[in-house]
Amino acid sequence: MSFAPVIDALAIPCDAQVEQRVPKKLLLEQGAPTTADKRNIQGGIEEITWAAALKPTNIGVPAFRDETREYLEIAVLTVALRPEAKPPRLIELIHRAIPYPLVLVSEHCNTVSLSLAHKRWSQGERGKVVIDDVRQVALNLNVLAAEECSFLASLALSRLPTRDLYALYDGLLERLSALEAARITGTFAPTESEEGAAARREGLEAHARVQRDLAVLRTQAKKEKQLNRRVELNLEIKRLEAKLAATEKTL
């Protein structure tokens, strides 16, 4: 399978490997709240495999528990999606259906994506687990940029934080953020500092907001017929371009 390079990059110990097919029925029962979601699962998924279960007993990293979440193991799944699939929604549904924090490697039309999402106890329904935002990066494994090669090289479990399973999972999430930043700056530089990781995530969100605002203003400027208003828009575009450049320096 084309997602093998990502799985190989994790360098998962043999004791943690499972290699067991997951029936679609599980997703239909656990992760399909609507009829449209059921159709998406049935028609969009070719094959889903439970590749590994990362536990304290097989990777030597302690479990994690607090009042917000409990990480007893981390699941690693691969999913092959059909060309007609709707990947963003399917990826979210799979993350919601699996009760453990999930490392999901998905393949769709020659693109391989790695996605993660922290999980926590639901505040409204006792015993139910909910996900935070799903973070995802896509890779064309046939044409990898230098920063993407560095990203893959950083994924080995032995190079991740080992304080506990939450820290290990958060370390993987930080590498996704580092790759997002590297695609802007050209330099892949993950950090093990929680403060540094949080600052990078905030910087990426700010960068995305400014880019969206710029796109809107540029469209307005092209359509604007009044000279004075066009000048105002261009000045605002210049201001946001400077802000964007400043934001890039924080990444």
67 is a domain residue? yes
| 53-88 pLDDT, tens digit each | 999 999 999 999 999 999 999 999 999 999 999 899
Domain count, the chain: 2
d(CA 210, CA 207): 5
Are residues 118 and 35 part of one domain? yes
Residue 196 lies in a domain: no
Dump pLDDT digits (tens) for 206-224: 999 999 999 999 999 888 8
Copy the structure tokens of residue 54: 């990362």
DSSP for residue 126:
T
Same-domain pairing of 158 and 215: no
With 90 as the cut, is the pLDDT of residue 225 above it?
no
Domain membership flag for residue 195: no
Taking Cα atoms as reference points, which of 74, 69, 117 lies closest to residue 93?
117
218 and 175, same domain (yes or no) = no
Radius of gyration of the chain, Cα coordinates, nearest whole angstrom: 20
Is 161 in the same domain as 238?
A: no
pLDDT band at 31 (very low <50, low <70, confident <90, very high): low
Please check whether residues 209 and 104 belong to one and the same domain.
no
Residue 239's domain comprises 202-249
Q: Residues near 98 by Cβ (< 8 Å), separated by ≥ 6? A: 30, 31, 75, 77
99 & 167 share domain: yes
Give the mean pLDDT of the chain. Answer: 90
Q: Please list the alpha-helical segments (H only) found in the chain.
A: 4-10, 24-30, 35-44, 56-59, 87-97, 146-153, 165-185, 194-223, 227-249
What pLDDT sits at residue 251?
A: 80
User: Residue 1 above 60 pLDDT?
Assistant: no
Question: Is residue 72 assigned to a domain?
Answer: yes
Same domain membership, residue 210 and residue 90: no
Within a domain: residue 223?
yes
Say whether both 21 and 56 belong to one domain: yes
Give yes or no for residue 205 having a pLDDT over 80.
yes
Question: Do both 96 and 215 map to the same domain?
Answer: no
How open is the CA angle 111-186-146, to the nearest 5 degrees?
55
Domain shared by 73 and 138, yes or no? yes
- Asked if residue 63 is part of any domain, the answer here is yes
Plot region of 110 (φ>0 → left; ψ -120 to 50 → alpha; else → beta): left
All residues at 6 or more sequence positions from 218 whose CB lies less than 8 Å from its CB, including other chains: 237
Q: How far apart are CA 78 and CA 80, in angstroms?
A: 7
On whether both 85 and 158 belong to a single domain, the answer is yes
Measuring CA to CA, which residue among 15, 11, 21 is closest to residue 49?
Answer: 21
Considering the domain architecture, whether residues 178 and 212 belong to the same structural domain is answered as: no
Q: Tell me if 112 is assigned to some domain.
A: yes
For residues 103 and 52, what is the distance between their CA atoms, to the nearest angstrom?
9
Which of 157, 189, 221 corresponds to the end of one domain? 189
pTM of the model as a whole: 0.88
